[in-house]
Structure 1
């Protein structure tokens, strides 16, 4: 969420977000004691604990200051049972029925977090001075900002939110903050010792608001242990004798498996989501005139970070049918002419595209949209702009991590321009300058709340059991991609390891007619798809062109940010999916898989003000040579995987050579070099060494053989269609395979850390360090991260 803050004056913030309830009048405002904050006169020299204690004590002396909210301290203890985080915000406002008594933050119940800082400037994450950037640059101030982002993200992690309000106390000053998936709205710092009524007025009006006004999603109903839905979820989690083992195998000749069969991994996944440390919800989705309801626990998948789509995926229980389904909750990019993912999938389903999800229902949720971009428009409207309303967003020299997202080191890349991208998704073009005044040019991405439910509940690709199975799974997804482009005229644009999933499927062998359970691939996450580029079609939607998951994007799309994604780019992404998972999970000659993945998949280069492809990936795809290390040892898997990789590398080598030749010819045609006459006399240096330079004419190609350039062009042309990729997979799959080529576990140690980090840890603070494990294919977000060692 770096550099995504917008400032509103305190009175504007109060009017827009904390309006006075209709049944209340200004005369109802409680009477304040004289010298309310007298014990905080010297707050700048007090510790955080002292400030916290004195502040809460002062507020408690005002009768009915926050009648519907209670302030509870949690300075010293993190939530019990939370194994992923030790966060402990200083205090928080709770509804009277949910006030904790154990001094813990209780993230699932907290309504308004409150953070105290002992010094008003050193620890202020924002800078109000004119002509200064709102996001303060000093290290300690950036660390505090990262800490606040962590707190906001933790509330969004446990709860279903449209927005979150936060109170920040900085010595004698205070700020109110409002977080949503587009950014943060911040008030100027104000001295509450000198102006106690301003703070108390905001607290009073805030406490009178209902849950929806305070940012809780009304379509997400909390399920308490005494509610019937709670028991339904417990019952659905109990294993049944009818559950089917999902292992690949042949079935008995008379075996019959129903269409709505529950595989064991699905029910187990649902049961695992019902832990005692996580709240349960009933989520609602409009469907025409009706509303569908689904019961969920802890998300199976969650995008890290605050700004961005905030995608969460659940194994959900359908209240209407009693079946398990997959529910995706996200804040989609909200632009005209951009279809929702459900609409795209319905089109694919109607056109018979295989191996894609089947839609149960989908819709936007109550027209819930992010408000921060609107606040940016207000702050940047020339007709309304004044000395108290200024632009405070700015482009970041390192894009925020973000599906989006986390605070990152904000320093400009050093002279060594090789860096690493975190496992993330690129959904933004290069940062744009802030001096713009039209809504269309707002640098903050608009998001709209959206839910999608599909029939299939899958397993992640990392569960594959052998090299052959890996290629078979990818093969079925390439088939889906081909049908989508040819029959439905849709290009996916985000082929990645996280979007190639495993779906155990009952099939019949065409020859023996015997039934089998096979692990097929399902190509998912069509949210970023677009119609196949057609110059005759309508104008394209206003969405950045460079979109995809950094590790799997083609060299061409990484280097050319406005490039329209073509079949060759998508096939290269499938190639990277195979290579990544082969290096990480198959036996090979690579003795340091972590370093290989770092340098090939995660690295990037900062060149001419843009982030482009890392050197190793570019070198491999341009030369067609794949090495296990920097000493030139060949990367081999001693299986048909080698055949597949060699075949495709030959095609990509020709593709990039042809592309570079076209680019060179275009440059020469645009600016031809002057013709230089041959030298009038021999070089003095050559004469000094008595050199002999006989002229040798190039040999003519043998008769009836294509010239090298014709052969290269023919190879490159193959990547304009899927057949070359499918054929390479078919040939490899049908060869003999070694037993046990899938390693036990992971070739990358869970303890591995990148060699050269850049700046502080993402979201680091002086209270705690972020310690969240990352899956091989985490959620979408923006790239940035740590530096890689020189290649």
Structure 2
């Protein structure tokens, strides 16, 4: 939210956002007669009494005919894990019985936060030298983060276009409007000396329609007594069927809508003549389980409308979100496992609800998926989602950026720090599984290989580059690969999703198309983090896959790093601030230049087959295997024998040498780096990578081992420049990189069980591997969860 606040006059705010009703005259005399003096003069030491006086002053039938003000300060929302609570709020009278003095984010119409001091508790400072109305004091910054998190919870628990908040500090007040672009706030006004200002806002707000208040009219709550809810609960139950009936229907090419087959549940399985298998919208039992989970507890169910220009209007039935992107300003992505109302017994589908950036040249994600799924250019791209339908949600757009432009008429429009966002929904067939649910390192490597292939075919055949590889965009997908003698084989493959930031290769543009850099901070290349205006090329996305692989390994595999929270902070979240701009931290860049992974204590970072014992003193060996990576070895400086090196060390070693070569050769010269976009588009053949991978790639195990990258690089010199160039070329070649990883995937002895419990502290702000936001830092520092380290400082984005 940094730099995304706009301060306006009270009258302008009311004119733009809180209009006077057309069918009722404003009671000026009654508003002027309101008396808030008792509220302002009451000692704030007794906050509950203070809030009681405030809500009593507001609860008049003529002022709030359909709403009621309720103090929520004493009890948090039982349905919210963060246990955050706002001081008070306005609720519909029909929903008052659901509140009972609790903060209820799902039903709150207007949030009200009260503070005791007029200056220290005002989050904005119009006299700030920075010009963005943000004060440098810790108290003010913390308070801004606090109220931002409250508004974010409103967006999380409701279907919102915007949200209004009343902020009271001593005798002053501000009204704030939040949307996915930023915030617009009034200048402070004295509600004791001018009670009509506060009264006018409350009176008008009470007469605003749900849409004017910020509710999305295309989202309808589903009653627990409705037929729709009954159908949803029925679909959430595990299906049963007669296996003989299923085999007979499959033989005849008919559809089977419910099944229990081996260890997987497959829906709508259609087998064509011959050996070819067509499975539209195949899902495993994980989709049903995820859908069932979304209905548990006090989850509110929704009927969401999705409009497609070609396929018409569809309605999706959903429970609570499967995923919610943290933060307020931005795309605000929510995803749901959904049932299409028009096909209630059909397969589960995946709905993505987001606020896409609506700038010139940025395409809808659905249009990109259409191209990826199309039969042209040698057929659909493998390992990407299959588009069902998509479209913008009516004309819903953010408005904060418009107000910024009104307030900065002398500024160039491209300098506006607030993006224009448009509400958008997209539905795909595949319901993926989060990457952090991988069962073994071998599976994790296989998923990465699949995504390299997906990226390569999209780049070479469809002329598209992804530009946002992250933990939320690389998924695991259970896919039918064989059907023999009544047995369905479901294989967990990779799925490269979220193509909304993709662009056409070779597309001409002057600098970035958005005010901020593109991508997810934790997984962006070190070079892109150091050069915000850099155009993302293949090498950057391939480096992002390396960072993603490391992120999962450091959390879920045995290794020697004993301060995972600190490592993640330095490597993935690290940043440097220069004159108000943020740049990537040095840990990631050091790793790329040195070609070596080290812990926070600069020890070589190694992974083991099981948990190693703590070392007595720092190790001195280099990163990466010098012998067979899966062979056991005993360190003389350990308290107990090491359990044996994990084969993933070899993968990291290979990748690091390729990355180091790229950085040694090209990092000093930005023009050389940019020229990497113009590379030969040689299409490599589609090939399965599992049981038939040796045959498909014509693999020779002995030759493959002889060509392993095993020697560490030395500083660049004329003697080894040719070798460096050969290595660096692999980073720009999907085929070479895929073969490099497939070599290790096939030839190493991967353990069947190597996953360990999550090593990242439970209170860490970026536990999900997505963009970090300021409030997560403050919540973490106050968490009751005990751990040896907690994140601190400003967010990198």
TM-score range, shorter chain: 0.7 to 0.9
Q: 1:154 to 1:41 in 2, by over 3 A?
A: closer
Does residue 140 (structure 1) correspond to residue 136 (structure 2)? The answer is no
Give TM-score scaled by structure 2 length.
0.77
Alignment partner, residue 650 of structure 1: 657
C-alpha displacement at 1:591, in angstroms?
5.0
Equivalent residues in 2 for 1:414-493 (5 A)?
A: 437-493=411-467
Alignment partner, residue 711 of structure 2: none
Is the 2:90–2:111 contact (alpha carbons within 8 Å) kept by the matching residues of 1? yes
Is the 2:446–2:745 contact (alpha carbons within 8 Å) kept by the matching residues of 1? yes
- Counterpart CA distance in 2 for 1:588 and 1:93 is 51
- Counterpart CA distance in 1 for 2:779 and 2:661 is 53
C-alpha displacement at 1:471, in angstroms?
1.6
C-alpha displacement at 1:291, in angstroms?
1.6
Is the 1:495–1:548 contact (alpha carbons within 8 Å) kept by the matching residues of 2? yes
- 1:136 is paired with a residue whose SS is coil
- Counterpart CA distance in 2 for 1:295 and 1:575 is 37
C-alpha displacement at 1:305, in angstroms?
1.5
Does residue 7 (structure 1) correspond to residue 7 (structure 2)? The answer is yes
Q: 1:240 to 1:135 in 2, by over 3 A?
A: same
- 1:602 is paired with a residue whose SS is coil
- 2:238 is paired with a residue whose SS is coil
Alignment partner, residue 89 of structure 2: 92
Is the 1:248–1:516 contact (alpha carbons within 8 Å) kept by the matching residues of 2? no
Alignment partner, residue 709 of structure 2: none
Is the 1:627–1:633 contact (alpha carbons within 8 Å) kept by the matching residues of 2? no
Alignment partner, residue 713 of structure 2: none
Does residue 726 (structure 1) correspond to residue 738 (structure 2)? The answer is yes
Q: 1:236 to 1:540 in 2, by over 3 A?
A: farther
Unmatched 5+ residue regions in structure 1?
Answer: 383-436, 667-704, 755-759, 774-782
Specify which of 475, 485, 507 is matched with residue 481 of structure 2. Answer: 507
Does residue 172 (structure 1) correspond to residue 146 (structure 2)? The answer is no
Is the 1:280–1:297 contact (alpha carbons within 8 Å) kept by the matching residues of 2? yes
- Counterpart CA distance in 1 for 2:262 and 2:112 is 49
Equivalent residues in 2 for 1:114-513 (5 A)?
A: 114-128=112-126, 134-241=133-240, 242-244=259-261, 259-260=280-281, 262-288=283-309, 290-322=312-344, 323-350=347-374, 351=376, 352-382=380-410, 437-508=411-482
Q: 1:618 to 1:156 in 2, by over 3 A?
A: same
Does residue 572 (structure 1) correspond to residue 569 (structure 2)? The answer is no
Q: 1:640 to 1:86 in 2, by over 3 A?
A: closer
Q: 1:514 to 1:477 in 2, by over 3 A?
A: farther
- Counterpart CA distance in 1 for 2:300 and 2:735 is 48
- Counterpart CA distance in 1 for 2:483 and 2:390 is 35
C-alpha displacement at 1:43, in angstroms?
4.8
Is the 2:558–2:754 contact (alpha carbons within 8 Å) kept by the matching residues of 1? yes
Does residue 599 (structure 1) correspond to residue 599 (structure 2)? The answer is no
Give TM-score scaled by structure 1 length.
0.78
C-alpha displacement at 1:539, in angstroms?
6.7
C-alpha displacement at 1:513, in angstroms?
13
- Counterpart CA distance in 1 for 2:466 and 2:317 is 30
- Counterpart CA distance in 1 for 2:212 and 2:87 is 23
Is the 1:360–1:455 contact (alpha carbons within 8 Å) kept by the matching residues of 2? yes
- Counterpart CA distance in 2 for 1:623 and 1:767 is 36
Between 1 and 2, higher relative CO (CA 8 Å, sep ≥ 6) is seen in: 1
C-alpha displacement at 1:169, in angstroms?
2.0
Alignment partner, residue 546 of structure 1: 517
What are the Cα deviations for residues 124-167 of structure 1, in whole angstroms up to 9, with x where unaligned? 22234597763333332322222211211111111010011111
Q: 1:751 to 1:305 in 2, by over 3 A?
A: closer
- Counterpart CA distance in 2 for 1:610 and 1:439 is 20
What are the Cα deviations for residues 181-238 of structure 1, in whole angstroms up to 9, with x where unaligned? 1111111111122212222122111111100000000011011212222112111111
Specify which of 72, 75, 89 is matched with residue 73 of structure 2. Answer: 75
Specify which of 739, 744, 764 is matched with residue 751 of structure 2. Answer: 739
C-alpha displacement at 1:664, in angstroms?
12
- Counterpart CA distance in 1 for 2:728 and 2:277 is 47
Alignment partner, residue 111 of structure 2: 113
- Counterpart CA distance in 2 for 1:595 and 1:475 is 29
- Counterpart CA distance in 2 for 1:362 and 1:35 is 49
Equivalent residues in 2 for 1:12-91 (5 A)?
A: 12-26=12-26, 31-32=30-31, 34=33, 36-40=35-39, 42-43=41-42, 47-60=46-59, 62-82=60-80, 84-91=81-88
- 2:156 is paired with a residue whose SS is helix
Q: 1:458 to 1:63 in 2, by over 3 A?
A: closer
C-alpha displacement at 1:105, in angstroms?
1.8
- 1:66 is paired with a residue whose SS is coil
- 2:216 is paired with a residue whose SS is coil
- Counterpart CA distance in 1 for 2:750 and 2:453 is 26
Unmatched 5+ residue regions in structure 2?
Answer: 241-258, 604-619, 630-644, 674-716, 767-771, 786-792
